[in-house]
Structure 1
Amino acid sequence: MRVDGRDIVVSGSLLQPLTRRTNDILRLALSGIFLVVVITSSLITRNEWEALEQSISEIVGVLSPTQSNTVYLIYGIAILALPFVILIGLIVARQWKLLGAYAAAGIAAILLLSITGNGIAAPQWHFDLTERLDTVLSQFLDDPRWIGMLAAVLTVSGPWLPARWRRWWWALLLAFVPIHLVVSAVVPARSLLGLSVGWFVGALVVLVVGTPALEVPLDGAARAMARRGFRVAALRVVRPAGRGPMVLTATQDRTVDHGDPDEGDAVVELYGPHQRGGGFLRQFWRKLRLRDSETAPLQTSMRRAVEHRALMAIAVGDLALANTSPIAVSALERGWTLYAHRPARGTPLDACAEHTPVSRVWDALGILHSQQISHGDLRSKEITVVDGTPQFGGFALAEYGASEAHLHSDIAQLLVTTTDLYGAEKAVAAAITVFGNDAVLAASRRLTKAAMHQGLRNSVRDAGSVMSAAREEVKRQTGADQITTATITRFTRSQLIQTVLLVALVYVAYPFISSVPVFFSELGSANWWWAVAGLLVSALKYLGAGAALWACADGLVSFRNLAIMQVANTFAATTTPAGVGGLALSTRFLQKGGLGALRATTAVALQQSVQVLTHITLLIIFSAAAGASANLSRFVPGATVLYLIAGAALGAVGVFLFVPKLRRWLATAVRPRLKEVLDDLVELAREPKRLALIILGCAATTLGAALALWASIEAFGGNASFVTVTIVTMVGGTLASAAPTPGGVGAVEAALIGGLAAFGVPAAVAVPSVLLYRILTCWLPVFIGWPIMRWLTRRDMI
């Protein structure tokens, strides 16, 4: 490379990987979303959109026919000439390698929009000049292939040409929407389709071919460093631009500069527009996820972010604690930003920890904090030792005038790093010596996964055990009873779970609300004593489930609290698909009650296994008692459904057997848990009293629901036996459990009403009876379960 009459040797690959072109990927994603929206709206709301466009056109279409034709003529000529002007502009700018991409994008857009059910349809343009000129031009204005081709070539060629041209050309192309409305013509939906397809094709071609931003302005970087007194003789690429900046090493021209040999090299970091996009997205995600006190102000400009890093290096360098010094910061062509600095001096801390006292590391951080400077990324590789003195590098997350949260975060990060290198006892003792008990105790609240960024967690051998050891040592040396976890996120996990549950509750309650008026009209004829009786017997569900889980947990938790938790369990199970929320809540309750995670999971799995076995046994017994006269055909799926279920099951088995990862998952995760459940079942068989209690509890859960439905039928004057109602409850509940809706809403009601009809219960009785049953066993416990779950949370039981 020749710059200002000097030859600079460049070695290494400058190519940027496709997967890291953030701006190009975002452009492609946005164009894809726009294409989906256009197609969806055309298919679903076509008539509504055309009516809206027609009404708008009638309002704004104020031009006379002669004026409309004049506007249409002028705009048609401009649209017809636009692709040729773009082509001439590329040729004048000597963008020879772009011509292939230009042609590929235009042809691809035309071909995609020419595909029909009968193959590829050629454009139906004709140039009969005996007709009016505006009608000839309208063939191009209304043809989606022409609009799509223009959008595609504009997307491809835009980044290579001056911004003024690009803005004017896009404005000209998009003007077809208001022009169509002004001349009192509805905007054709096919034209919008052409625009969306053309943009998508152009974005895809740009991702494959590239943009000028991929051309690294090394000549500008060499000139910027020369202005700062560093004349570059050679550049070597250490890392291509990807998730982070492009990193190069620069060798100084020794024929001109005769300085210190140690000062002969420099590290050059080049940030392109793609790194700017990715960096901003990461900043925005941190800002969205964490509280304001935990995050620095957003740096929307890459140049401002780089300048901040360089200025922080200067500020820390004034304290003699920076292992590097800036050389140049400059904005380069095509959106690139340069940051050149001296290589990091010294030996990384993890390589010389044996010879560096841990107290010196904490003293260095104490000096930083005395000037209200936080580092923000205290990994061992960002700390080097120069002549026995620890110094810092990086500074990408450093802050001047740091808040208390940032200072505490620094202490917590250094606790993790030094605990990993020196052990918890030495690390905590040195931290207390420098910062005192109160500061270290407050900072230790941040020894959590959420507070430690991923890079720091990955820099230690086992982040979880290291943070746990540091917390325990802080408690021991400070005499604290416990360390409360600091809340650094805007929303806690509990708040997110509760929000999701409330949204799910609204979703599942909506179908029920629509049937409330009919239900209330039937309540006038109901026998309220039977309704009260149904409410009382429905409590057997919670007592039985609590007793079964209490026995499965060997009586190690409070039965009273366990029975109360079952009401909250109804809320969690109803608002989540397949009742997974209820299982998770039961497991969490047992863990808080003193059981280990494995033991709690096993107890819940054991209770569910016995519940299934008891359910099947009761179903067989009551079906035999009902006799063969009952019509159960409505409960049995059709042959096609059974074949589909069998085929899906066999397919799933085949996938799990032939995919190595799934097979290993079965062997390492599922098989041990299944073996534990089977071993517990065998052990239960040797304890008759405990087994009987679990079976009775599971049976009470099933029979309590059946009794509630039977009482609801009696409340509306029905005449069904308890045996038939029990069969309906068990079979209907089993079929509805496969429904994708939370709590089986809709499926449960349909299955129960159909089941009662199969046993001869009139629809006038079955419908209000099932709704009353769902109120007693589902909706009433759900609304009571919400405050109970909040109460359990405040009592630290879940």
Structure 2
Amino acid sequence: MRVDGQDVAVSGSLLQPLTRRTNDIFRLSLAGIFLVVVVTSSLITRYEWEALEKSISGIVGVLSPTQSNTVYLIYGIAILGLPFFILIGLILARQWKLLGAYGAAGVIAILALSITGNGIAAPRWHFDLTVRLDTVLSQFLDDPRWIAMLAAVLTVSGPWLPARWRRWWWALLLAFVPIHLVVSAVVPARSLLGLAVGWFVGALVVLVSGTPALEVPLDGAVRALMRRGFPPAELRVLRPAGEGPLVLDATASCNSKADSDTEPETALVELYGPHQRGVGFLRQFWGKLRLRDDETAPLQPSMRRAVEHRALMALAVGNLGMANTQPIAVATLDRGWTVYAHKPARGIPLADCADETPVARVWDSLGVLHSQQISHGDLRRGEITVVDGRPLFGGFSRAEFGASDAHLHTDIAQLLVTTADLYGPPKAVAAAITVFGNDSVLAASRRLTRAAVPKAVRDSVRDAGATMSKLRDEVKYQTGADQIKTETITRFTRNQVIQMVLLVALVYVAYPFISSAPVFFSELRSANWWWALVGLAVSALKYLGAAAALWACADGMVRFRSLTVMQVANTFAATTTPAGVGGLALSTRFLQKGGLGALRATTAVALQQSVQVITHITLLILFSAAAGASANLSRFVPSTTVLYLIAGVVLGAIGVSLFVPKLRHWLATAVRPRLKEVLDDLMLLAREPKRLALIILGCATTTLGAALALWASIEAFGGDASFITVTIVTMVGGTLASAAPTPGGVGAVEAALIGGLAAFGVPAAVAVPAVLLYRILTCWLPVFVGWPIMRWLTRKEMV
């Protein structure tokens, strides 16, 4: 390559790989929005839009029928030949890789508008051929599939074709709208739909297949280096452009004999294309959206500003003598490219000389940066080198001048992870405390989390999770702290996200109940409110019984009063999650916060659930026997076919688990130990009669309290049902609630309870409002009360 009279040797491939640029994602988003707007407008304002088009075409339509046919004939020929012109253009440009995407986009666009419920639809014309426009060729203007195919292939081939061709061809395609108006015709809605579908399909194919690489303005980069007194004689590609910049190794030319006797000067040249500019901005914006304001730097409006910031920070750190590199040139090039040239990093990587470099020197170097209120932001081992025994820093893409305390503490946390991996946690923590003191290290250790430590830093060490855990323990040991509270650096915490999901689920599961509310409220006029209050009072037995059972399973290591309050919050978590898994997780978390270990808390909850199931089945058998033959229980028993099907599924699952090695290994290593623990706990529990009796009594109270609440609800509406039959119905409904896939068993529980009461002779006029009242007392009221209680427990750090 020859630039301004100087020859520059270039080695390596400058051809960039196919990339999925930010523009491709933006194009697909716009196409999706346009498609939604076209579909929505065609459904909502179709007739008003056609009336508006007729009035406009009546004003601008000046052509006679003969002239209209001629215009349609000429334009139809152009539209018919347009895809072939595009294909010839691609072939002449030798874009062979694009032919597959070209064909796929056309076929997908046509099929998308051709597939119906009856198969592939044949072409349907908008106009009657016997009335006007009797040229079959002109009907291509009216076929949405042809319009969609043209829009799709134009979108796919656009990035590969000259801009001038692309503009003319898009103008030719879009001309069908004004031509329809000029010839006094309404633009068919299907044609606009075809245009929208074709654009969307083409944008999707472009995103999948990728767009061509932009030409690298290497001559501009060479001129920028020359202006800075670095005339390159040779450029060698080190890394092609992709997700990161195009990196080249530049060797300066020797201008004199004295220079020829010394080793030629080298530099690293980084070329950032438009793709990196868009991706960089999106990453900054995502950081702003996800993290708190004091955790992120100001947004860089362009790639040039981001590169300039990196170069300026390298100069600032270099003035302190702590930079292992030095900027040479920063410039904006043609076609949206930006060049950043700098000297190669000096020194030996820290990982290669950790044995000879004391860890204290690494922390002393960071102390020099922090003394000038400079944060680095990317303290990986690869960004630290050692020159004459002194650690120096490189990178600086995330560095900040005038850094906040949050940035400085993040630096300490990152260097703790890096030095702990090289020197061990005790030495790393001791050196950090020596330089920054107990308070700063303790505050920084709160950021030893996946959210606070960048992924690049975590990936640079062997086991980031274990390293951060050991560091937290070591910080507590050396500073004497009792515990380290995790620092919240994101705008939305994990608990807030979980609570938001639970609220959305609550609205979802409450919708069927809300839809039947008017009928229920009309029945409330005849209800006996004293029985409703009795039902509300006895429903509290559920929480007392569950708290007593869990208290006994935990060996009384948590306060019974707190457990009772937690059971109300547990109703919210269990109702808004399928199969009540949220309630189990909340109970386990509460026991852990109460002082039990993770294994012990899980075992206690599993033990309570096991006894609850055994007690539930035992009570169901006893009350069913007491009910006698007077009750019609056939509707609760599945048919023989269903029973055989269930048995076959169970036997098949057992066979699969025995013959599939991975499943067999999982059962042996994960399920069997937990099952053995529960069985061992049950055996130990059998040797403690008082404790066993308390757990069984608590589980039985949970079941019978729900039955009493349903019985009181039936009495409130003047029903007549024995407590034994109501208990059977309640237990069947509870079983369905735990097995139903909907949160809280909504729908399945109500149907089972109403059907069960009907089986025992309770009329529907009483059963329906009674069940709804029962669900209000035992499900919905505790759910709405449990939400603020769970937030209160969260603030008190009890869950």
* Interval containing the TM-score (normalised by the shorter chain): 0.7 to 0.9
Q: Distance in 2 between matches of 1:84 and 1:506?
A: 55
**Distance apart, 1:162 and its partner CA:** 5.0
Residues 218-263 of structure 1, C-alpha deviation per residue, up to 9 Å, x if partnerless?
Answer: 5654555455444555554444444433434344455889379666
Name the counterpart of 1:81: 78
Distance 1:173 1:727, change over 3 A: farther
1:105, 1:156 within 8 Å by CA — same for their partners in 2?
no
Which SS does the other structure have where 1:737 is aligned?
helix
Which SS does the other structure have where 1:628 is aligned?
helix
Distance 1:314 1:135, change over 3 A: farther
Name the counterpart of 2:93: 95
Name the counterpart of 1:576: 577
Specify the code of the residue in structure 1 equivalent to 2:150: L
Which SS does the other structure have where 1:446 is aligned?
coil
**Distance apart, 1:644 and its partner CA:** 6.4
Q: Distance in 2 between matches of 1:702 and 1:444?
A: 47
**Distance apart, 1:656 and its partner CA:** 5.8
2:114, 2:121 within 8 Å by CA — same for their partners in 1?
yes
Q: Distance in 2 between matches of 1:287 and 1:537?
A: 51
Specify the code of the residue in structure 1 equivalent to 2:154: L
Name the counterpart of 1:247: 247
1:24, 1:206 within 8 Å by CA — same for their partners in 2?
no
Name the counterpart of 1:367: 368
- 1:479-498 aligned at under 5 Å gives the runs 480-498=481-499
2:551, 2:557 within 8 Å by CA — same for their partners in 1?
yes
Q: Distance in 1 between matches of 2:431 and 2:580?
A: 50
2:156, 2:202 within 8 Å by CA — same for their partners in 1?
yes
- 1:328-339 aligned at under 5 Å gives the runs 328-332=329-333, 335-339=336-340
**Distance apart, 1:86 and its partner CA:** 8.2
Specify the code of the residue in structure 2 equivalent to 1:349: L
- Establish whether residue 58 from structure 1 lines up as the match of residue 56 from structure 2: no
Distance 1:572 1:89, change over 3 A: closer
Distance 1:353 1:528, change over 3 A: same
Q: Distance in 2 between matches of 1:173 and 1:428?
A: 68
Range that drifts further, 52-61 or 344-353: 52-61
- 1:277-316 aligned at under 5 Å gives the runs 277-316=278-317
Residues 353-410 of structure 1, C-alpha deviation per residue, up to 9 Å, x if partnerless?
Answer: 2222333322322222233321101112211111112111111211223223212221
1:753, 1:770 within 8 Å by CA — same for their partners in 2?
yes
Name the counterpart of 2:537: 536
Q: Distance in 1 between matches of 2:289 and 2:680?
A: 47
Name the counterpart of 2:454: 453
2:35, 2:193 within 8 Å by CA — same for their partners in 1?
no
2:520, 2:772 within 8 Å by CA — same for their partners in 1?
yes
Distance 1:72 1:666, change over 3 A: farther
2:75, 2:138 within 8 Å by CA — same for their partners in 1?
no
Name the counterpart of 2:103: 104
**Distance apart, 1:211 and its partner CA:** 2.8
2:550, 2:608 within 8 Å by CA — same for their partners in 1?
yes
Which SS does the other structure have where 2:213 is aligned?
helix
Runs of 5+ unmatched residues, structure 1: none
**Distance apart, 1:112 and its partner CA:** 2.5
Distance 1:482 1:62, change over 3 A: same
Q: TM-score, normalised by structure 2?
A: 0.87
Specify the code of the residue in structure 2 equivalent to 1:96: R
Name the counterpart of 1:404: 405
Which SS does the other structure have where 2:56 is aligned?
coil
Specify the code of the residue in structure 2 equivalent to 1:195: L
Q: Distance in 1 between matches of 2:683 and 2:707?
A: 30
1:69, 1:134 within 8 Å by CA — same for their partners in 2?
no
1:719, 1:761 within 8 Å by CA — same for their partners in 2?
yes
- 1:514-553 aligned at under 5 Å gives the runs 514-553=515-554
1:376, 1:397 within 8 Å by CA — same for their partners in 2?
yes
2:509, 2:742 within 8 Å by CA — same for their partners in 1?
yes
Name the counterpart of 2:139: 139
Range that drifts further, 580-589 or 737-746: 737-746
Name the counterpart of 1:795: 796
Range that drifts further, 712-721 or 739-748: 739-748
Which SS does the other structure have where 2:670 is aligned?
helix
**Distance apart, 1:453 and its partner CA:** 1.3
Distance 1:238 1:612, change over 3 A: farther
Name the counterpart of 2:753: 752
Distance 1:692 1:582, change over 3 A: same
**Distance apart, 1:574 and its partner CA:** 1.2
Distance 1:383 1:508, change over 3 A: same
**Distance apart, 1:183 and its partner CA:** 8.6
Specify the code of the residue in structure 1 equivalent to 2:94: W
Specify the code of the residue in structure 2 equivalent to 1:442: A
Distance 1:674 1:481, change over 3 A: closer
Q: Distance in 2 between matches of 1:198 and 1:442?
A: 56
**Distance apart, 1:498 and its partner CA:** 2.5
Range that drifts further, 575-584 or 297-306: 297-306
Name the counterpart of 1:155: 155
Range that drifts further, 371-380 or 400-409: 400-409
- 1:214-293 aligned at under 5 Å gives the runs 216=216, 218=218, 221-222=221-222, 224-253=224-253, 258=259, 264-293=265-294
Q: Distance in 2 between matches of 1:211 and 1:340?
A: 27
Distance 1:677 1:34, change over 3 A: farther
Specify the code of the residue in structure 1 equivalent to 2:158: G
2:547, 2:563 within 8 Å by CA — same for their partners in 1?
yes
Q: Distance in 1 between matches of 2:16 and 2:643?
A: 55
Range that drifts further, 569-578 or 656-665: 656-665
- Establish whether residue 345 from structure 1 lines up as the match of residue 342 from structure 2: no
**Distance apart, 1:541 and its partner CA:** 0.9
Which SS does the other structure have where 2:355 is aligned?
helix
**Distance apart, 1:764 and its partner CA:** 0.6
**Distance apart, 1:647 and its partner CA:** 6.5
Name the counterpart of 2:702: 701
Distance 1:491 1:188, change over 3 A: same
Name the counterpart of 1:391: 392
Range that drifts further, 668-677 or 317-326: 668-677
Runs of 5+ unmatched residues, structure 2: none
Q: Distance in 2 between matches of 1:772 and 1:280?
A: 55
Specify the code of the residue in structure 2 equivalent to 1:410: D
1:105, 1:149 within 8 Å by CA — same for their partners in 2?
no
2:144, 2:192 within 8 Å by CA — same for their partners in 1?
yes
1:109, 1:197 within 8 Å by CA — same for their partners in 2?
no
**Distance apart, 1:426 and its partner CA:** 4.1
Distance 1:662 1:600, change over 3 A: same
Q: Distance in 1 between matches of 2:175 and 2:773?
A: 60
Specify the code of the residue in structure 2 equivalent to 1:596: G
**Distance apart, 1:591 and its partner CA:** 0.1
Q: Percent identity?
A: 74
**Distance apart, 1:600 and its partner CA:** 0.7
Residues 577-606 of structure 1, C-alpha deviation per residue, up to 9 Å, x if partnerless?
Answer: 221111111001100110011111111112
Q: Distance in 2 between matches of 1:643 and 1:303?
A: 70
Specify the code of the residue in structure 2 equivalent to 1:108: V
1:213, 1:272 within 8 Å by CA — same for their partners in 2?
no
Q: Distance in 1 between matches of 2:637 and 2:178?
A: 59
Distance 1:192 1:262, change over 3 A: farther
Name the counterpart of 1:563: 564
Residues 73-128 of structure 1, C-alpha deviation per residue, up to 9 Å, x if partnerless?
Answer: 87996676368578768978952326846862575256535755787677689999
Q: Distance in 2 between matches of 1:419 and 1:739?
A: 49
**Distance apart, 1:535 and its partner CA:** 1.8
**Distance apart, 1:444 and its partner CA:** 3.1
Name the counterpart of 2:712: 711
Specify the code of the residue in structure 1 equivalent to 2:305: R
Q: TM-score, normalised by structure 1?
A: 0.87
Name the counterpart of 2:61: 68
Residues 677-724 of structure 1, C-alpha deviation per residue, up to 9 Å, x if partnerless?
Answer: 222223323333322222221111111111111111112111111121
Q: Distance in 2 between matches of 1:785 and 1:518?
A: 26
Specify the code of the residue in structure 1 equivalent to 2:748: A
**Distance apart, 1:322 and its partner CA:** 1.4
Which SS does the other structure have where 1:212 is aligned?
coil
Specify the code of the residue in structure 2 equivalent to 1:520: F
Which SS does the other structure have where 1:418 is aligned?
helix
Which SS does the other structure have where 2:784 is aligned?
helix
